[in-house]
Amino acid sequence: MALQNDYQDVLDVAKSVGAKIETREENGKLVIKGSVDHAFDRDRMWDQIKAKHPKWNDEIMVMLTVTHAEPYGLYTVKSGDTLSKLAKDIYGDMKLYPKIFEANKDQLKDPDHIKVGQVLKLPPKTIANRA
């Protein structure tokens, strides 16, 4: 139970991306097993683990199946969101917001006008970080 408390931030990310997971502590490690819709969602969980937990390699085991092969993750816009805020939160660089805009030109005419409840496609980091 102690490791679950230590990794609550990771479990919160899992919940926010809609991961279907089970957790248990086994042999001194937190085991997270389940599925996520997109590789992008799995990567967000790993980013949280690696950014906040320096001993993660000794403390956690993650076994996630990705259920959809398409390269985009999906994100539902919440109050206060902007494309630059999403780019900062997801890719670590607010200047990458044009990548999100490009992926959503079918529904966005202006990167400064997104609406609460809109479902945006989010390119994976490998695409977003390309120059």
Q: Is the pTM of this model over 0.75?
A: no
pLDDT for 71 equals 66
The stretch 4-29 carries a mean pLDDT of 94
Parallel, antiparallel, or unpaired for β 29-36 and 60-66?
A: parallel
Q: How many CA within 13 A on the CB side of residue 26?
A: 8
* Average confidence score pLDDT of the chain: 89
pLDDT for 127 equals 57
Six-digit token string for 27: 């042999």
Task: Report DSSP state, residue 81.
Answer: -
Which tens digit of pLDDT belongs to each residue from 23-50? 999 999 999 999 998 787 888 899 899 9
53-83 burial: b if 16+ Cβ within 10 Å, else e: beebeebbebebeeeeeeebbbbebeeebeb
CA 90/CA 127 separation, integer angstroms: 13
Which tens digit of pLDDT belongs to each residue from 43-85? 889 989 998 999 999 999 999 999 877 767 789 999 999 999 9
